[in-house]
C-alpha cells in the first residue's frame, strides 16, 4: 500500500489517499516486484511481473480517500491506509457501488412520458444533484456549492442555489435536505453577526459564503471581454435569506419534521423575519413598507444607472418573498410545543410588537407595478431603455453575458430592461398561482387569472437566461402555465404564448 497525505492551505484540512495494487492471473495473485518512487508531494509504485503470451492478467488498483472532516477519523493517513487494506476486491466493490446507485434510482428517478432524450437529460441532472448532495452530505457539514463537482468556478462558494434542489430532495431524500438546512443553522451565528455589522437585526445570510459562513462575496469581478476588473455589487442580493426561510418551511411542509422545526428551523425563520423587518421601512406616503438597497436574482441590475451606491429600491421578488415570510413567521411559534415556544420567545427576546409588525408587513409590503399592471422588477425598471435584442444577437451571437458585452463597450446593463435570469418570475416558479393570488390579495393588490402568463411573457422577452437554472425555472413555469415546452439555447430568449393559465390544485407542500 502506498499513501499520500496533504494539508489544504487555508482550511488546514488533511486529505489522505491510499492505494493498493494487486495483480491476478487466472484468479490467483501474481508475484510482483515493487519499486517505490517518492518525493515530498508525490508517490508512485512501479510493478514488474512476468507476462505470458495469450495469458491475461488483471491489475487491480483500489484507492481510498480520507479527510480530517470525515466523522470517526483520527489520522487521515492511517484511516485511508486501513480502509484500503480492508477493502474487498474490485468486483465486490463494484457490486456495492451499483447496489447503492440502484437504490438511489429507485428513490429518486423521475419518469416522463416524453421522448428518450428528455428522460436522459432529466436523469443526467438528477445524477448531478445526487453527486453533490449525496447521502454523505448530512454527515459532512456541506452545503450546495454553485458548481457542484462540475467545475472550480465560484471557488466552491455557497450561494442560494440550494433553493432549486431542496424540493426535489425533500420529497425523496429528506435526510439530505435536513442536513443542508443544518449546514445553514450552524452558520446562524455568523449570519447574526453579519446583520448586526450592517446595522440590522436578526440574521443576514451572506450572498456567498464558504466553510465558516462569513461573507465571501468578491468585491471585484474580472470581465474577460475587456480584461478589466469591475466592481461586483452582488453582495446586495439579500434575497438568499428569504430562500433559506422558504427552504426551512417547505422542508417542514413536506416532511412534517416537527423536531427539526422545534430545535432549529423555527429559530432560523424567526431570525430571518426579524432581519427583513429591520431592513424594511414604512413609507407614510404610500402607507406601505419598502426595502431599498437590494438586488434581485437578476444580476444585470446592481444599481441605478448613474448611482454611486449599489442596490435598487423595492425589488418585487424580494418584497413579495418578505410579505410571504412575514405572514408565516408569527404562525410558526404556535406550531411548537409550548415550552419550546416560550423558551424561544424568551431566548430570542421576541416581543408582541414584533409579531404584529410582521403581520402588518405581510399586508402592506410595497410591490411596484408598471402602468399596464405588469409587476415591475424593481422601482424604476419601467423607465429603463429597451435593448435591441435582434441587433445584439446579430452582432455578438451568444449574448447570454450581455452584462460583460455591454460593459466591455463602455455601456452599462443597468440602463436597460434586460435580465440575466428569472427574477420576478421566480415567484411563479416557487409558488402556485393559487398561493400567489392569496398573497397578492392579502397585500390588497389585484391578481388576475392572466397575471402569471402576462408577467412571464413580458420577462421572457427580456431575459438572456445566462445561468443554467434560469431556463429550467422558465421551463417549469411554462409547464405550469400550460404553455409549450421548448429548450432554450444559448442567447435564446423564450417567446411563448401561454395558452391558458392553469391553476393547479393545492399540494401538501403548499403553504
Ligand atoms: O446563485 C447563482 C446566481 O443566481 C447567478 N450567478 C451564479 C450563482 C451561482 O450559481
Mean pLDDT of 280-294: 98
For ligand 1, atom 4: residue with the closest CA = 297
Given this model, what pLDDT does residue 468 score? 64
Best residue for ligand 1 mutational test, from 129, 143, 159 (most atoms within 8 Å of Cβ): 159
472 C-alpha to ligand 1 centroid (Å): 13
Atom 10 of ligand 1: nearest residue by CA position:
146
β-strands 288-290, 33-39 pairing: unpaired
Tell me the pLDDT band of 473, cut-offs 50, 70 and 90.
confident
Q: Whose CA is nearest to atom 9 of ligand 1?
A: 146
Query: Does residue 162 register a pLDDT over 60?
Result: yes
Classify 111 as helix, strand or coil: coil
**Least confident among 110-114, 277-281, 284-288:** 110-114
Say whether pLDDT at 298 is over 50: yes
b/e map 247-256, b = 16+ CB within 10 Å: bbbbbbbbbe
| H or E stretch covering 371 | none
Q: How far is CA 198 from CA 162, 169, 405, in A?
A: 25, 33, 33
Average pLDDT, the chain: 91
Q: pLDDT grade, residue 399 (50/70/90)?
A: confident
CA atoms within 13 A on the CB side of 205: 25
Q: Reply yes or no on whether the pLDDT at 502 is more than 70.
A: no
**pLDDT higher than threshold 70 for residue 511:** no
Lining residues, ligand 1, CB within 6 Å:
146, 154, 159-161, 297, 299, 467
User: CB 293: neighbour CB atoms within 10 A?
Assistant: 14
Cα gap 49→55, rounded to integer Å = 13
Residue 405 has pLDDT above 80, yes or no: yes
The helix (H) or strand (E) run that includes residue 492 is none
Q: Which of ligand 1's atoms lies nearest the C-alpha of 299?
A: 5
Confidence of residue 150 (pLDDT cuts 50, 70, 90): confident
For ligand 1, the distance from its centroid to the CA atom of residue 316, given in whole angstroms, is 19
Q: What is the pTM of this model?
A: 0.91
Please determine, for residue 487, whether its predicted confidence score (pLDDT) is greater than 90. no
What amino acid positions are annotated as catalytic residues?
Answer: 299
Average pLDDT (224-235) is: 95
Taken in order 456, 457, 461, 462, the sign of the CA dihedral is negative
73 has a pLDDT exceeding 60: yes
Weakest mean pLDDT among 15-19, 153-157, 242-246, 293-297: 153-157
Q: Is the pLDDT at 168 greater than 70, yes or no?
A: yes
Instruction: Pick the atom of ligand 1 nearest to 160's CA.
Output: 1
Q: What is the mean pLDDT of residues 354-378?
A: 97
Question: Burial code of 344-370, b = ≥16 C-beta within 10 A, e = fewer?
Answer: bbeebebeeebbebbeebbebbbbbee
* Joined grid coordinates for residue 49: 511481473
CA-147 nearest atom, ligand 1: 10
Local confidence band at 171 (pLDDT 50, 70, 90 cut-offs): very high
Q: What is the DSSP string of 373-384?
A: SPBPSSTTGGGS
The Cα 470–Cα 485 span in angstroms is 14
477 band by pLDDT with thresholds 50, 70 and 90: confident
Joined together, the cell numbers standing for residue 137 give 452530505
Strand duo 220-223 + 42-48: pairing? unpaired
Residue of 145, 164, 430, 467 to test ligand 1 pocket, by largest number of atoms within 8 Å of CB: 467
Given a cut of 90, whether residue 470 has pLDDT beyond it is: no
Question: Binning pLDDT at 50, 70 and 90, where does residue 485 land?
Answer: very low
Q: Ligand 1 centroid to 460 CA: how many Å?
A: 18
Q: Say whether pLDDT at 187 is over 70.
A: yes
SS3 of 198-247: CCCCCCCCCCCECCCCCECCCCEEEECCCCEEEECCHHHCCHHHHHHHHH
What's the confidence (pLDDT) of residue 251? 97
Ligand 1 atom having least distance to the Cα of 146: 10
Checking if the pLDDT of 235 tops 80, the result is yes
Task: Assess whether pLDDT exceeds 50 at residue 492.
Answer: no
- Split at pLDDT 50, 70, 90, the class of 464 is confident
Res 501 pLDDT > 90? no
pLDDT band at 181 (very low <50, low <70, confident <90, very high): very high
Q: How far is the CA of 435 from the centre of ligand 1 (A)?
A: 26
Taking residue 373's Cβ as centre, other Cβ atoms within 10 Å add up to 13
Task: Give the per-residue pLDDT at 508.
Answer: 34
- Relative to the CA of 159, which ligand 1 atom is closest? 1
Closest CA to 237 of 168, 163, 181: 163
The whole-number average pLDDT for the span 204-231 is 96
Q: For a ligand 1 pocket test, name from 154, 464, 474 the mutation site with the most ligand atoms within 8 angstroms of its C-beta.
A: 154
Cα 140 to averaged position of ligand 1 atoms, centre (Å): 23
Determine the distance separating the centroid of ligand 1 and the alpha carbon of 154, expressed in angstroms: 9
Please report the atom of ligand 1 found closest to the CA of residue 154.
9
Ligand 1 centroid from CA 124, angstroms: 20
State the pLDDT confidence band at 115, using cuts at 50, 70 and 90.
Answer: confident
Using the mean position of ligand 1's atoms as its centre, give its distance from the Cα of residue 357 in Å. 32
Atom of ligand 1 nearest to the CA of 157: 9
Nearest residue (by CA) to ligand 1, atom 5, is 467
Amino acid at each position: 500500500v502506498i499513501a499520500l497525505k496533504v494539508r489544504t492551505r487555508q482550511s488546514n484540512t488533511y486529505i489522505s489517499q491510499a492505494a493498493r495494487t494487486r495483480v491476478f492471473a487466472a484468479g490467483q495473485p501474481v508475484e510482483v516486484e515493487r519499486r517505490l518512487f517518492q518525493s515530498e508531494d508525490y508517490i508512485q509504485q512501479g510493478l514488474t511481473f512476468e507476462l505470458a503470451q495469450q495469458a491475461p492478467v488483471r491489475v487491480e488498483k483500489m484507492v481510498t480517500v480520507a479527510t480530517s472532516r470525515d466523522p470517526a477519523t483520527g489520522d487521515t493517513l492511517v484511516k485511508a491506509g486501513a480502509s484500503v487494506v480492508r477493502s474487498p476486491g474490485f468486483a465486490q466493490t463494484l457490486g456495492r457501488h451499483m447496489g447503492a446507485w440502484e437504490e438511489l434510482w429507485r428513490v429518486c428517478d423521475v419518469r416522463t412520458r416524453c421522448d428518450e432524450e428528455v428522460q436522459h437529460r432529466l436523469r443526467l441532472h438528477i445524477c448531478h444533484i445526487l453527486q453533490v448532495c449525496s447521502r454523505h452530505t448530512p454527515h459532512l457539514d456541506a452545503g450546495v456549492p454553485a458548481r457542484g463537482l462540475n467545475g472550480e468556478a465560484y471557488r466552491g462558494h455557497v450561494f442560494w442555489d440550494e433553493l432549486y434542489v431542496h424540493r426535489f430532495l425533500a420529497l425523496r431524500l429528506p435526510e439530505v435536505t435536513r442536513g443542508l438546512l443544518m449546514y445553514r443553522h450552524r452558520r446562524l451565528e455568523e449570519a447574526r453577526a453579519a446583520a448586526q455589522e450592517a446595522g440590522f437585526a436578526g440574521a443576514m445570510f451572506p450572498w456567498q459564503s464558504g466553510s465558516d459562513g462569513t461573507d465571501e462575496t468578491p468585491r471585484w469581478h474580472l470581465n474577460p471581454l475587456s480584461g478589466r476588473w469591475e466592481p461586483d455589487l452582488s453582495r446586495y442580493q439579500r434575497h438568499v435569506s428569504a430562500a433559506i426561510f422558504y427552504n426551512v418551511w417547505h422542508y417542514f411542509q413536506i416532511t412534517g419534521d416537527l423536531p427539526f422545526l422545534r430545535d432549529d428551523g423555527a429559530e432560523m425563520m424567526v431570525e430571518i423575519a426579524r432581519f427583513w423587518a429591520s431592513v424594511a421601512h414604512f413609507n407614510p406616503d404610500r402607507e406601505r413598507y419598502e426595502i431599498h438597497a437590494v438586488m434581485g436574482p437578476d444580476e444585470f441590475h446592481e444599481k441605478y444607472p448613474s448611482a454611486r451606491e449599489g442596490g435598487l429600491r423595492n425589488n418585487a421578488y424580494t418584497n413579495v418573498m418578505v410579505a410571504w415570510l412575514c405572514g408565516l413567521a408569527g404562525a410558526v411559534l404556535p406550531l411548537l410545543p409550548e415550552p419550546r415556544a416560550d423558551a424561544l420567545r424568551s431566548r430570542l427576546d421576541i416581543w408582541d410588537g414584533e409579531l404584529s409588525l410582521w403581520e402588518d408587513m405581510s399586508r402592506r409590503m410595497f410591490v411596484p407595478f408598471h402602468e399596464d399592471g405588469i409587476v415591475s422588477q424593481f422601482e424604476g425598471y419601467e423607465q429603463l431603455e429597451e435593448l435591441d435584442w435582434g441587433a445584439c444577437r446579430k452582432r455578438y451571437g451568444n449574448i447570454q453575458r450581455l452584462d460583460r458585452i455591454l460593459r466591455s463597450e463602455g455601456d452599462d446593463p443597468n440602463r436597460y430592461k434586460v435580465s440575466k435570469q428569472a427574477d420576478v418570475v421566480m415567484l411563479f416558479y416557487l409558488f402556485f398561482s393559487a398561493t400567489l393570488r392569496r398573497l397578492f390579495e392579502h397585500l390588497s393588490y389585484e391578481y388576475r387569472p392572466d397575471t402569471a402568463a402576462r408577467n412571464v411573457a413580458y420577462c421572457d422577452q427580456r431575459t438572456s437566461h445566462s445561468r443554467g437554472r434560469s431556463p429550467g425555472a422558465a421551463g417549469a413555469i411554462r409547464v405550469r402555465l400550460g404553455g409549450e415546452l421548448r429548450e432554450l439555447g444559448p442567447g435564446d430568449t423564450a417567446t411563448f404564448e401561454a395558452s391558458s393559465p392553469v391553476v393547479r390544485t393545492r399540494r401538501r407542500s403548499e403553504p
